[in-house]
């Protein structure tokens, strides 16, 4: 088992989010063997914490507060799966400003604000880079 763990904060847990959680869980050993790190979903922002999502996560993992996940020092990477422009854009910008890597496949957001977010990511990468 790897000594290093990457702790993922997931923004959204609909169809794509539940698939991401299940895939990371079901293939955890293979991912760890190939990547040399364990990838674990530690926090998830959703609209309704009471909704049953049938994913292998403790109920305390869920919150309605996306900002709390972005600000959580125990979250290493943000995965945005909300869709749409807001609040996705604001949460991604806040994560980047905090030096956290962000993963998104939000085509609408990238079509409208991709340049702005990529430029911010470049600036933050230089600011947080350790040489």
Which domains does the chain possess? 5-128 (3.40.50.720)
**pTM for this one?**
0.91
How high is the pLDDT of residue 127?
80
- The string of pLDDT tens digits covering residues 48-78 is 999 999 999 998 999 999 999 999 999 999 9
How high is the pLDDT of residue 131?
47
Q: Is the pLDDT of residue 111 over 70?
A: yes
Range 113-122 contact pairs with CB under 8 angstroms and sequence separation of 24 or more: 113/85, 113/89, 117/89, 117/92, 117/93, 120/93, 120/96, 121/96
Rg (the chain; Cα; Å): 15
Binned at pLDDT 50, 70 and 90, residue 128 comes out as confident
- The string of pLDDT tens digits covering residues 16-54 is 999 999 999 999 999 999 999 999 999 999 999 999 999
């Amino acid at each position: 088992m790897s000594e290093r763990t990457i702790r993922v904060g997931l923004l959204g847990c609909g169809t794509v989010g539940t698939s991401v959680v299940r895939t990371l869980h079901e293939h955890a050993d293979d991912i760890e063997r190939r990547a040399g790190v364990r990838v674990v979903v530690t926090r998830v922002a959703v609209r309704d914490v009471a909704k049953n999502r049938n994913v292998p996560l403790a109920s305390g993992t869920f919150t309605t507060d996306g900002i709390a996940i972005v600000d959580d020092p125990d979250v290493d990477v943000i995965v945005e799966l909300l869709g749409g422009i807001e609040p996705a854009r604001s949460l991604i910008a806040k994560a980047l400003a905090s030096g956290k890597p962000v993963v998104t496949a939000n085509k609408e957001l990238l079509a409208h604000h991709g340049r702005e977010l990529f430029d911010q990511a470049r600036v933050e990468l230089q600011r947080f880079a350790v040489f």
